[in-house]
Chain A
C-alpha cells in the first residue's frame, strides 16, 4: 500500500457520501461484534482468560530479548533458517534474496499483516516477481488493486456484486453472477492452479513458541497449509512481538483469538510448523520495524501485545462508519491508530484523533490493551511534537485563556448567545461543521450563573 497524505476526516467524509453503503458496512461489522459477544459469553472464565493473556504478553515484552534468543536457538535446532530484519526494507530484501537464490519469480502468499506493513507485494512486483495472495478476501482486494481494509476481513468493504464483477474481469466468471458459493468455487479453482505450480510459499505467523522453536499459523481457509505444504520453500515472516514463552500458552491465545475475531470457538486451521519436511527449506524472518522503539515508549508498549484479532475494529463505531481505508495504514481501526504513529508520526498524526475515546476497543481487546488511553496519550505526544494544525493550536490557546478567566468567560458566553439570538446566520452557516447536519442549541435567556445570582443570592 502506498502512503497517502489524505487525512482520516476527509477520507471518512468521502466514504460517508454513500449512506446506504455506510449502513451496510456498519451492520455487517456489528453482526461480527455481536457474534463475538455471544462467543465470549459462552465462557464464564472469559475475563480471566483476558487477564492471563495480557500477563503472558507482559512477561514476553519484559523479557523479549531473552525469548528471542531462546526461540532462535530452538528454531535452528529444528533446521529452520532464521533471518533478522531491522526494518521493512531489510525484510523485503531478505525475502527477495531467498527467491533469487532459487530462481523463482512466482510465489503464493497467505495472509500476513506484517508483509502488508512492509509493502512486500509492491516491492516484489517492482522486482518482477508475481505474488498471488491466497486468502480469498486478500485475493479479491489484490484483483481490485486495493489494500485490505480490515486485518481479519480484508474485503469487508466490498459487496458480493462488486466481487462478481471483479471475478468476471479477472477470472472469467459469467457477468452478473454474484452467487457467493459459485464465486468461491471459481476462486478455489483459480487458486488451486497457483498452489500446485508455485515453488515458494510465504506465510505469516500468529504465534511463535520460544520453548520449542515452532510457530503457529491460523487460517479459516487452509490456504497457508496448501501453500506451505506444496512448496519446496516455506518463508514465514513475523514481527518480533509474536512470541509466546511456552507451547501450553497456546491454549490461552487460541481460545481468545478466533472468538474475538469472528465469534468462532477456534479457527478452522491452527497449523503448527516445527521443522521443514524432508527436502523442504523453511525460512523464518524476524522483523523489528519499529517494534523495539515502541517497546521503549512506556505509554505505548502494551500495543505490542496485540494478537491481530480485529475485535477493536468491529466494535469501533468510528471504524464501522469510516471504513478501513480511511486509516491509510496497513492496520486500520483503533489498534492501527496507536501502532501507526510509532512508524511515522507525521504521516499518521491524524489517526489518534479518529476516535471519540468511547473505550469499547479496550473492553473487547482479548489481551487488554488500554487502546483508548493510548489514543489520548498519542494526542498529547503529537501536539507536543508539533503535529497540530496552527489554527487548532490558536483555538486551544484561546479556549485555555477564556476558561481560566471567569469574568472573560461569562462575557464571552453572553456575547456568543447574543449573536446566536440576534444574528443566527453568524453560526448557522456552512462554515460551521456542527450546523451541516445538526441544529445549534437554542440559546437560553440567561446562563445558570446569572439565574443563580438572581434566585439564590443568599448563598453568595
Chain B
C-alpha cells in the first residue's frame, strides 16, 4: 500500500512539525509514504469564497501529483472534504483519476481508524487535553457524531486519543460548536470570527485544558492566535503530534 501524503499549503508553510508528525506516525505504523513534491493547495480558499471556477489549475496539479496512489492522507479534515466534494478533472479522460482521488483521500484519523484499523498506540502525553472537533471533519467527513442528530455517539479522533497513555480528555460545554475560522470568513467577518474563537477557547479553559487538539490545523491556528493574544499558557497541538508523541 502506497500512501501519498498531502500537506496543505498553510501546514507546509506554518506548521511543518504537524506534517513531520503525520509522516513519522504513518511510517511508524508501517505505511509506505510518498510526498509528491509539487503539491501546493487543495483550492478550498478560492472555492469557499465563491471562486470555484478559478480552481481548475489547482485541481489539475492535484491530480498530477496524486495520480496512481492507493490512498491519499492529510492532517486536515477541511482540505480533505474539499477534495472529496469538489475535485474534478479538466479533460474527460482524466475524470477516472479524479474519481479515484476523491474516493481514496482520507483525513489522518479516519485513515488510522477505518483503513489501518489501529487498536493501540505507543504514544504518551500526560496532560489535560480538550478536543476541538472541526466542523468540516465532523459534519462533512463524519469523523464523529453530531449533537444535532438523534443517533448513537462515536468519535474517531477521540477513540485514538484514548489510546494515548496519560492523556486526560476533558469535557466541553458545547461539544461541537464551530470555532469561527471558516477560511476567508476569519478576515471577511473579523468581528464574529474572533468572538467565536474567543468563546471556543473559553470553553476549553473553563474545563481546565492544558492543550487544545484537533484534526484540523486551520481551526487550531485560529484558536492559537487567540490564546497567544490572551498571553495564555495553553497551547494547541495537532492530533498527529499527540499520537506521535514519544514516551
Closest beta carbon of chain B to A73's beta carbon, Å: 39
Contact of A417 among B13, B50, B54 (CB under 8 A): B13
Q: Is the C-beta of B150 less than 8 angstroms from some C-beta in chain A?
A: yes
B139→A358 contact, CB < 8 A: yes
Q: Is the C-beta of A43 less than 8 angstroms from some C-beta in chain B?
A: yes
A444→B192 contact, CB < 8 A: no
Contacts A399-B54, A438-B229 supplied; 8 other A-B pairs, CB < 8 Å: A321-B196, A380-B53, A383-B50, A397-B54, A403-B40, A403-B61, A406-B38, A409-B40
Contacts of B37 in A (CB 8 A): 406, 449, 460
Q: Is the C-beta of A40 less than 8 angstroms from some C-beta in chain B?
A: yes
B191→A16 contact, CB < 8 A: yes
Q: Mark the stretch among A149-157, A165-173, A247-255, A451-459 that contacts chain B.
A: A451-459
B180→A9 contact, CB < 8 A: no
A383→B51 contact, CB < 8 A: yes
Q: Is the C-beta of B126 less than 8 angstroms from some C-beta in chain A?
A: no
Closest beta carbon of chain B to A345's beta carbon, Å: 12
Contact of B190 among A46, A315, A437 (CB under 8 A): A437
User: Interface majority SS on A: helix, strand, loop or mixed?
Assistant: helix
- Docked CA distance A43–B61 (Å): 48
Contacts of B40 in A (CB 8 A): 402-404, 406, 409
Closest beta carbon of chain A to B181's beta carbon, Å: 7
B226→A438 contact, CB < 8 A: yes
Residues in chain A within 8 A of chain B (CB atoms): 8-9, 12-13, 15-16, 19, 22, 26, 30, 37, 40-41, 43-44, 46-47, 315, 317-318, 321-322, 352-360, 362-364, 376, 379-380, 382-384, 388, 392-393, 396-397, 399-400, 402-404, 406, 409, 413, 416-417, 433-434, 436-444, 446-449, 451-452, 456, 459-460
Contacts of A452 in B (CB 8 A): 19, 23, 35
Chain B stretch 187-227: residues in CB contact (< 8 A) with chain A: 187-199, 221-222, 224-226
Contact of A400 among B48, B51, B136 (CB under 8 A): B51
Contacts of A357 in B (CB 8 A): 48, 135-136, 182
Contacts of A317 in B (CB 8 A): 177-178, 180, 196
Closest beta carbon of chain A to B99's beta carbon, Å: 20
B60→A448 contact, CB < 8 A: no
Q: Is the C-beta of B166 less than 8 angstroms from some C-beta in chain A?
A: no
- Docked CA distance A170–B26 (Å): 69
Contact of B149 among A44, A363, A434 (CB under 8 A): A363
Q: Is the C-beta of B31 less than 8 angstroms from some C-beta in chain A?
A: no
- Docked CA distance A208–B20 (Å): 60
B57→A400 contact, CB < 8 A: yes
- Docked CA distance A318–B182 (Å): 11
Contact of B150 among A41, A356, A360, A443 (CB under 8 A): A41
Contacts of A362 in B (CB 8 A): 139
- Docked CA distance A380–B53 (Å): 8
A413→B13 contact, CB < 8 A: yes
Nearest B residue (CB) for A9: B189
Residues in chain B within 8 A of chain A (CB atoms): 7, 9, 11-17, 19-20, 23, 34-35, 37-41, 43, 45-55, 57-58, 60-61, 135-136, 139-140, 146-151, 174, 176-178, 180-183, 185-199, 221-222, 224-226, 228-229
Nearest B residue (CB) for A382: B50
B229→A439 contact, CB < 8 A: yes
Find the residue from B38, B51, B57, B181 having the highest chain A CB count within 10 A: B51
Closest beta carbon of chain B to A44's beta carbon, Å: 7
**Given A315-B148, A404-B60, A451-B20, are A376 and B48 neighbors across the interface (CB < 8 Å)?**
yes
Nearest A residue (CB) for B225: A438
A356→B224 contact, CB < 8 A: no
Find the residue from B52, B187, B190 having the highest chain A CB count within 10 A: B190
- Docked CA distance A30–B148 (Å): 12
Nearest A residue (CB) for B196: A317
Find the residue from A352, A404, A451 having the highest chain B CB count within 10 A: A404
B35→A413 contact, CB < 8 A: no
B20→A356 contact, CB < 8 A: no
B13→A447 contact, CB < 8 A: yes
B55→A448 contact, CB < 8 A: no
A16→B192 contact, CB < 8 A: yes
A356→B57 contact, CB < 8 A: no
Contacts of B176 in A (CB 8 A): 360
A437→B14 contact, CB < 8 A: no
